[in-house]
Amino acid sequence: MVTYVKLGSLQANATHSEAAAVAPAERLPEQEAAAHGHPSTGQPAVEIAGVRKSFGAVHALRGVDLRVMPGHVYGVLGPNGAGKTTLLRIVLGLVRPDGGSVTVLGGRPGHPETLKGIGALVESPAFVPYLSGRTNLKVLARARGLPNDEVARVLQVVDLTDRADERFAGYSLGMGQRLGVAAALLGSPGLLILDEPTNGLDPEGVASMRTFIRRIGEQGTTVLLSSHLLSEVQQICDRVIVINNGRVIADDTVSAVRARTGATVLKIWASPTDEAGPVLTEILDRSAPVGDDSDESMSSEDAATGSVPEAGAGADPTTPRVGAGSACPVRVEDQDQPYWRLETTPEIVPELVRGLVRAGIAVHEIRRERPSLEDVFFTLTRDDADPAPVANEGGRR
Amino acid sequence: MINAFASETLLLRRRPMPLVVGGAWTIMVLAFAFGVPYIVYSVLDPATEQADRAELLDTLIPASVPATSASSYPLFGGALMLILGVLMTGPEFRWNTWTARFTQGPSRTDVILAKIAVGAVATFVIAVIVAAASTLASFIIALVEGAPTGLPSAADLVASVGAATLISTAWMSVGAALGVVFRGTTVALAVGLLWTLGLENAISGLAGMLSALEPVRAVMLGTASGSLVSSLGAPTQGEGGTPGVVDDLSTSAACVVLVAYAVISTVVALAVSRRRDIT
């Protein structure tokens, strides 16, 4: 079966040896099962229940519950040391959890049969430095029992064919990253685990990689994508998992997570610009829904009301969250004209306009925007702050 | 297991390390087992030292190749093969390639077993090359000196190559296990060479004075290697032979000890690899 995958500047005539290459709509149930390595019965590709992992005194994961459903592109977000890489390594069987259960593609993590259905790029790509990219891939392909044709295919997919016979040590960061992705694609796995796949790529490469990940997701491959680039997750993924302090604090569709705070981002162009700031602050302070805008008091309130969902809580929307520091207007130095940016509820907009006009400030424009994933991420992770020690990336101490 | 073996074979074939170790060892054997003795032979006075010359020439002709080429293995060859073993596993930690190696399908057990099996094959190839090069060198010496050029029996050659392979595999396995245990090359090499060249020689020397150390000496890697080589007919160190060649153990006991080292080292490498988190 041959599918033509266009990857922006990277074009590849991708010959998939297995049914994973077939678009979901074209697939027979048996092909679907073969692509994902588990029965097509709605069974999760990855099911994690109560998983804990500590490295000495450092608690990397503190009871993670998670279900990764097949055919979705999941973005795994979290600050440094949140436990993302530890979680991915547990899924791959590289790290054994202290407790809880993990099922991957219907089997045990790290089991040879399970690993056949998984492709992974964890942290930075690692290869034998003085061997060529092609030889490095051949070594891995042989371990999977794949022919050399498969190496040529994945090199073409990542647009590295021309440089494949150069030594890996001479590769740029971006080329190394593409080789790592190529290694993950060997055998057209049903579950793809990519840790920072666009790291080191040039803008064109980043765009191509994003397009490529979206395409393989559309073709039915389950993707777990860890990234620090929130905009990237917003663009590529249809679901997002937010991990902080070793717990899953959000697991939902990207749009549902973005709607979670209930807040709106306002951009206000007014003049004189400098005088608008104090007026906006005063209105927000006075406004009942905003209340106390200090981080500390808002976090306490959230903790008391349980508005931040616990691990694996799913889609329950939280109570509207305004203020909490992000409500404070922030002056943004736009290229044309500076403006004020603030997070608040839509109901307060008329009061803001009235207050500005009463203060003799001309309001030129007000734009209402949904909070980005980045806005929500910072709100979620800030409110979930925990002073207990957490692991560094990769669980290293 | 077959896939893991194929993968590790390709990796070792493409790495320069076995060529460097094998090449260095071949040159060392040719230089120290044949080159230097032949120079000594050449400078001995035929008039006054004819007996010594004849005795020396006897060790340099093709018929003596099985014992002569194997006689350097107990000490120097073993140490080189230990380095080979360390270099098979240790750099994977520096390159951070275990993650990729352990996520392709073959189990950790398969990967480690394949690595050591491929290493054993490499030691066999090196032993064959060394034996062939030794035969060629001895043939040339015999031709130049007008000595008998008759080749050794096939059985003797097979026994020599077999002994060299067993000794090399045991030392290589120890090195591979040290590379895994110490997660790298530097400490593994330091510990391995300190143990085999320093500690073993010290115990071996002290055992002559302290009888309590005799049982320890009997199960040492160097002692077993030296005993196996002496069973091929090589003169012992005490008889003026190559350092490391001893006759402390019987052939079968030496073989058992060497196999035990290979097995225990492999088990240790497997146990550590299976238990450890790859972070």
What mean pLDDT do residues A245-260 have?
Answer: 79
User: Does A350 lie in the same domain as A274?
Assistant: yes
Q: In which band, very low, low, confident or very high, does the pLDDT at B139 lie, cut at 50, 70 and 90?
A: very high
Higher pLDDT, A253 or B39: B39
pLDDT reading at A23 higher than 50: no
Q: Distance between CA atoms of A155 and A164, rounded to whole angstroms? A: 7
At residue A17, the pLDDT reads: 36
Quote the pTM value.
0.77
What is the DSSP secondary-structure string of A59-74? EEEEEEEEEE-TT-EE
What is the DSSP secondary-structure string of A234-294? HHH-SEEEEEETTEEEEEEEHHHHHTTT--EEEEEEEESHHHHHHHHHHHHHH-TTT----
User: Does A290 lie in the same domain as A142?
Assistant: no
Whether B90 contacts chain A with CB within 8 A: no
Alpha carbon of A119: minimum distance to chain B alpha carbons (Å): 8
Q: In which band, very low, low, confident or very high, does the pLDDT at A263 lie, cut at 50, 70 and 90?
A: low
pLDDT reading at A18 higher than 80: no
At residue B205, the pLDDT reads: 79
Whether A183 contacts chain B with CB within 8 A: yes
Q: Nearest by CB to A112, which of B99, B101, B105?
A: B105
User: Does A356 lie in the same domain as A293?
Assistant: yes
Alpha carbon of B188: minimum distance to chain A alpha carbons (Å): 20
Exposure string for B266-275, b = 16+ CB within 10 A, e = fewer: bebbbebbee
At residue A261, the pLDDT reads: 64
* B209 Cβ contact list (under 8 Å, min separation 6): none
- Residue A40 maps to a domain: yes
At residue A367, the pLDDT reads: 84
pLDDT reading at B239 higher than 90: no
A183, two tokens: 């290694």
CA distance from start to end of chain A: 46
Whether B95 contacts chain A with CB within 8 A: yes
Query: What is the share, in percent, of chain B residues with pLDDT greater than 90?
Result: 55
Q: Nearest by CB to A112, which of B99, B107, B279?
A: B107
How many A/B residue pairs have CB atoms within 8 Å? 91
pLDDT reading at A310 higher than 50: no
Q: In which band, very low, low, confident or very high, does the pLDDT at A255 lie, cut at 50, 70 and 90?
A: confident
Q: Up-side HSE of residue B95: CA atoms within 13 Å toward CB? A: 19
**DSSP three-state, residue A164:** coil
B22, two tokens: 């094998």
Alpha carbon of A138: minimum distance to chain B alpha carbons (Å): 8
At residue B224, the pLDDT reads: 92
Q: Nearest by CB to B10, which of A96, A138, A396?
A: A138
User: Does A155 lie in the same domain as A43?
Assistant: yes
User: Does A316 lie in the same domain as A175?
Assistant: no
Specify whether the CB–CB gap between A148 and A161 falls below 8 A: no
- Residue A329 maps to a domain: yes
Domain count, chain A: 2
Whether A112 contacts chain B with CB within 8 A: yes
What mean pLDDT do residues B214-242 have?
Answer: 85
Q: What is the dihedral of CA A250, A254, A255, A260, to 10 degrees?
A: 20
CB atoms within 10 A of CB B50: 11
> In Å, what is the CA distance from A393 to each residue of A88, A89, A153, A372?
11, 11, 32, 25
- ipTM given for this complex: 0.87
- Residue A117 maps to a domain: yes
At residue A28, the pLDDT reads: 36
- Residue A285 maps to a domain: yes
Specify whether the CB–CB gap between A197 and A225 falls below 8 A: yes
Q: Which residues of B touch A112 (CB under 8 A)?
A: 105-107, 110
User: Does A351 lie in the same domain as A207?
Assistant: no
pLDDT reading at A307 higher than 80: no
Q: Which helix (H) or strand (E) holds B133?
A: helix B108-145
User: Does A130 lie in the same domain as A247?
Assistant: yes
Residue of B nearest to A186 (CA): B104
pLDDT tens for A31-62 read 344 444 444 456 888 999 989 988 888 888 88
Higher pLDDT, A258 or B56: B56
What mean pLDDT do residues B30-53 have?
Answer: 85
Q: Which residues of B touch A128 (CB under 8 A)?
A: 11, 15, 95, 97
User: Does A269 lie in the same domain as A245?
Assistant: no
User: Does A20 lie in the same domain as A107?
Assistant: yes
Q: What sign does the CA torsion over B9, B14, B18, B23 have?
A: positive
Query: Inter-chain contact B279–A89, Cβ cutoff 8 Å?
Result: yes
At residue A130, the pLDDT reads: 92
User: Does A275 lie in the same domain as A244?
Assistant: no
What mean pLDDT do residues A66-87 have?
Answer: 86
**DSSP three-state, residue A199:** coil
What mean pLDDT do residues A191-217 have?
Answer: 85
Full residue range of the structural domain in which residue A234 is found: 3-253
- Min mean pLDDT across A83-87, A130-134, A255-259, B180-184 is at A255-259
At residue A301, the pLDDT reads: 33
At residue A174, the pLDDT reads: 83
Cα A204 off chain centre by: 20
Whether B99 contacts chain A with CB within 8 A: yes
User: Does A36 lie in the same domain as A67?
Assistant: yes
Residue of A nearest to B11 (CA): A139
> In Å, what is the CA distance from A289 to each residue of A258, A280, A286, A327?
20, 14, 9, 11
Q: Nearest by CB to B99, which of A94, A116, A131?
A: A94
The chain-wide mean pLDDT, for chain A, equals 74
* Residue that finishes a domain, picked among A225, A253, A281: A253
- Residue A391 maps to a domain: no
pLDDT reading at B261 higher than 60: yes
CB atoms within 10 A of CB B64: 21
A336, two tokens: 């044309």
- Residue A375 maps to a domain: no
- Min mean pLDDT across A9-13, A108-112, B166-170 is at A9-13
pLDDT reading at A317 higher than 70: no
At residue B264, the pLDDT reads: 96
At residue A3, the pLDDT reads: 40
pLDDT reading at A150 higher than 90: yes
Q: What is the dihedral of CA A295, A300, A303, A307, to 10 degrees?
A: -50
> In Å, what is the CA distance from B3 to each residue of A118, A147, B8, B65?
17, 11, 9, 38
A337, two tokens: 């004209």
A306, two tokens: 């349980």
CB atoms within 10 A of CB A101: 11
- Residue A388 maps to a domain: no
* Residue that finishes a domain, picked among A253, A273, A288: A253
What mean pLDDT do residues B130-143 have?
Answer: 93
pLDDT tens for B165-184 read 999 999 999 999 999 999 99
Higher pLDDT, B252 or B58: B252
- What's the CATH code of the domain at A176? 3.40.50.300
* B22 Cβ contact list (under 8 Å, min separation 6): B122, B125, B126, B129
User: Does A327 lie in the same domain as A207?
Assistant: no
* B251 Cβ contact list (under 8 Å, min separation 6): B227, B228, B231
B111, two tokens: 């990967």
* Residue that finishes a domain, picked among A208, A223, A253: A253
* A24 Cβ contact list (under 8 Å, min separation 6): A32, A71, A218, A219, A220
At residue A382, the pLDDT reads: 65
Q: What sign does the CA torsion over A244, A246, A247, A250 have?
A: positive
pLDDT tens for B59-113 read 888 988 998 989 889 888 999 999 999 999 999 999 989 988 898 888 999 999 9
- Residue A131 maps to a domain: yes
Query: Inter-chain contact B6–A142, Cβ cutoff 8 Å?
Result: yes
Q: Distance between CA atoms of B221 and B161, rounded to whole angstroms? A: 18
Query: Inter-chain contact B279–A94, Cβ cutoff 8 Å?
Result: yes
Q: Which residues pair with A332 in a beta bridge?
A: A339
